[in-house]
Each structure stands twice: as C-alpha cells, then as structure tokens.
Chain A
C-alpha cells in the first residue's frame, strides 16, 4: 500500500481562509519534510521537523511521529499560495518517500 498518504487531494479556498493539510505514513520516520511546487516548477523545501511543531511565516508544521501523522497549517491564505504541497517521510537524510500531494487553489 501507499507509504505516505496526503489529504485532501485538492483544496479550494477563498483568499484569507486557513488551510490544514494532512499527512499519514505507514512506517517509521525520523521527520516529515514539506515541499511546495508550482506547475512546472521546482520543489521548494518549506519545513522539516521531527516530532513537534515548527513555524515559518504563515506556515506551521506539526509532526507526531509516534502516531505516524503530520499536518501543515497555512494561515490567511493568499493567491500566491496556490500550487501543490508535498509531504515526504525522511529517515535521517536518507531517501524520501513522497505522498501524492495536495493541490491548493486560492481564489480572490
């Protein structure tokens, strides 16, 4: 089965609304790493953390490795936040296993 599952697969928001993206993984992980990608664009690392919560700007990543889940919260969404958000399971810098992504669309 899929090792990393993300939900929802797609999400449409009005500008200013908050978003909560979920990531569940089926085997152990040292940390989760969140990436952002625009269509045709490169993967941009957003946040990477082991268990706990980490903030940067309007983004908050929460990881509970014992429960094999994580989430990415985007507050006060902006149109420029539109794109695909990918969660990846990371074991101490070894290979990443990616989820299928959440495609976010923020409308004016």
Chain B
C-alpha cells in the first residue's frame, strides 16, 4: 500500500497561470478530501468526494478553484489564474466512510508557490 499519492510535490507558477494538482487515493477508499495548509490559517478543508460524487465544497473559494474526481483512482484540484495568496501546501486525503474504525490518511502534499 503506497498510501495517498500526490503529484507534483512542488509546483511554482507565475501569477495568472493555471495550476493542476493530482491525487491518487488509497485503493478501495470511498472518500477523497482536499485540504490546504498555510502558516497563517493552519489546515483548512476545501472539498470532498464520496464514491466520486462531490459532497461538500464549502471550503472552496468560489472563483478560480475547482475539483474533480473522474474515476475512483484519481482526483484533481485546479486553480485558475493563480494568485500569490494561493501559495500553500495542498493536501489530499482518503478514507472509508461510515465505519466505526474510520481513519483519514493524508498524502505528502503539493507545495504550490505563486510568484
């Protein structure tokens, strides 16, 4: 089990460019989550999918951010027209849902730097 895999590990984009972040959840997990971590804000929930369907995107900035899960083996987070304030570590996580012993497992993150 390779755990949750995120690519790339580091990404530098120019202001106004697009950034796409990739996540491969643990095989068999039914839920995929995206979080963002900064020193100032800490860990913030962005969005999550259950069985590939979007369930809760309450943490997503309404403009420029979108997430998809086209199949059970990967999810993407896309940021259009990146801004310096988008610089953060973006974390993907996965878990089973609805079981008494559910834990959430995180990938190593993608560090996005917008210059």
Instruction: Spell out A's residues near B (CB within 8 Å).
Output: 30-31, 33, 35, 42-43, 45, 48, 50, 86, 88, 90, 92-98, 100-101
Contacts and interface: CB of A to CB of B under 8 A. Distances in A.
Nearest to A31: B102
Given A92-B102, A95-B48, A101-B42, A42 B108 contact: yes
Contacts of A95: 33, 45, 48, 56
B96 interface: yes
Contacts of A43: 91, 106
Contacts, number: 55
Contact of A97 (B31, B45, B56, B98): B45
Contacts of B45: 95-97
The 4 closest A-B pairs by CB, nearest first: A93-B102, A42-B108, A93-B97, A43-B106
A39 to B, nearest CB: 10
B6 to A, nearest CB: 9
Given A90-B103, A94-B31, A96-B33, 19 more contacts: A33-B103, A42-B106, A42-B108, A42-B109, A43-B106, A45-B104, A45-B106, A48-B101, A48-B103, A50-B100, A90-B102, A90-B104, A92-B97, A92-B102, A93-B95, A93-B98, A95-B45, A96-B93, A100-B42
